[in-house]
Chains A and B, each alone.
Chain A
Amino acid sequence: MIKFMLMVNKQGQTRLAKYFAEFLTTDERRALEGEVVRKCLSRTDKQCSFYEHRQYKVVYRRYASLFFMIGVDDDENELAILEFIHCFVEVLDKHFGQVCELDIMNEPEMVHYILDEMLLGGCVVDTNKANVLEPVQLLEG
Chain B
Amino acid sequence: MSIRLQQLIKAVRACKTAAEEREVIAKESAALREAFREQDQSYRHRNVAKLMYIHMLGYPTHFGQMETLKLIAGSGFPEKRIGYLGLMILLDERQEVLMLVTNSVKMDLNNTKNMYIVGLALVALGNICSAEMARDLAPDVEKLMDCPAPYIRKKATLCAIRIVKKVPELLEQFVDKAAELMNDRHQAVVLAAATLMLQIVELDPSLVDKYRPFVPHLCRILRSLLQPGGSPEHDIGGITNPFLQVKLLRLLRLLGRGHADSSDAMSDILAQVASNIEASRNAGNAILYECVQTIMGIECIGGLRLLAINILGRFLANKDNNIRYVALNTLAKVVSVDTQAVQRHRATIVECVKDADVSIRRRALELVYSLVNEANIRTLTRELLDYLAVSDAEFKPDLTAKICMLIQRFAPDRRWHLDQLLAVMLQAGAYVKEEVARALLVQLTNTPDLQPYAARAMFRALAAHGDSAAPTLLATALWVVGEYGEMLLASMGGPLLEGEPALAVSDADVVSLLETVLRRHRSEAAVVEHVLTAAMKLTARLPAQVPRLRALIGRFTTSTQLEVQTRSTEYGKVFSHERIRAQLLERMPALDEAEYLRANNPEGAAAAGGAGGAAAAGTARHANGSAGGSAGAAPAAAAAAKAAGASDLLGGLDVLGGGGGGSAPAAAPAPRALVDDLDALLGGVPAAAPAAAGAAAAAAAAPAVAAVSDDLLNLLGMGAGPAAPAAVPAAAATAAAVGPARFHPGSNRAPSGPRRTPPGATHSHPCRPLLSTPTAPARPRPRCGPLRLLPRSLLHRGLAAARPGGHLQPAQAPHQPRRHGGHGGNGQQHPNRRQRLHAAGGRPQVHAGQAGARLRHLPARPRRQRQPEAVREQHAARRQAAGHAPAHHVCGGGGAEPRGAGGGGQLPAWILRWSDI
Q: Which residues of A contact B (CB under 8 A)?
A: 14, 16-18, 20-21, 23, 26, 29-30, 33, 46-52, 77-80, 82-84, 86-87, 105-106, 108-109, 112-113, 116, 120-121, 123-128, 130-131, 135, 138-139
Contacts and interface: CB of A to CB of B under 8 A. Distances in A.
A139 B119 CA distance: 13
A135 B154 CA distance: 14
Interface residues of B, number: 67
Contacts of A121: 126-127, 158-159, 161-162
A48 B158 contact: no
Interface in B239-261: 241-243, 246, 250
Given A23-B94, A84-B243, A123-B158, A46 B52 contact: no
A48 B242 contact: no
Given A79-B289, A123-B158, A131-B188, A48 B56 contact: no
B77 interface: yes
B349 to A, nearest CB: 16
16 contacts: A21-B162, A26-B58, A26-B60, A46-B356, A47-B358, A50-B322, A50-B325, A79-B326, A80-B290, A82-B286, A82-B322, A83-B286, A105-B9, A116-B85, A116-B88, A121-B161
B286 A79 contact: yes
Contacts, number: 145
Interface string B148-163: 0001001100110110
Contact of A47 (B53, B250, B283, B357): B357
B158 A125 contact: yes
Contacts of B329: 78
A108 to B, nearest CB: 6
B487 to A, nearest CB: 50
Contact of A124 (B159, B162, B243, B356): B243
Residue from A49, A87, A126 whose CB has the most chain B CB atoms within 10 Å: A126
B241 A26 contact: no
Nearest to B53: A108
B359 interface: yes
B378 interface: no
A69 to B, nearest CB: 14
A125 B322 contact: no
Interface in B66-102: 77-78, 81-82, 85, 88-89, 92-94
A108 B289 CA distance: 34
Contacts of A50: 322, 325, 359
B265 interface: no
B322 A78 contact: yes
B59 interface: yes
A83 to B, nearest CB: 5
Contact of A128 (B9, B234, B325): B234
B389 to A, nearest CB: 22
Contact of A123 (B82, B92, B161, B289): B161
A14 B326 contact: no
B21 to A, nearest CB: 10
Given A14-B57, A82-B286, A113-B85, A51 B359 contact: yes
Nearest to B289: A79
Contacts of A30: 58
Contacts of A131: 151, 188, 233
A124 B81 contact: no
Given A26-B58, A33-B58, A139-B78, 13 more contacts: A20-B127, A26-B55, A47-B321, A47-B360, A50-B322, A52-B359, A79-B283, A83-B283, A108-B52, A113-B81, A121-B158, A123-B158, A126-B188
Contacts of B757: none
Nearest to A33: B58
B387 interface: no
A31 to B, nearest CB: 10
Contacts of A127: 234, 236, 241, 243
A84 B195 CA distance: 16
A20 B162 CA distance: 10
Contacts of B13: 105
* The 4 nearest A-B residue pairs measured at CB: A23-B92, A79-B286, A48-B321, A47-B357
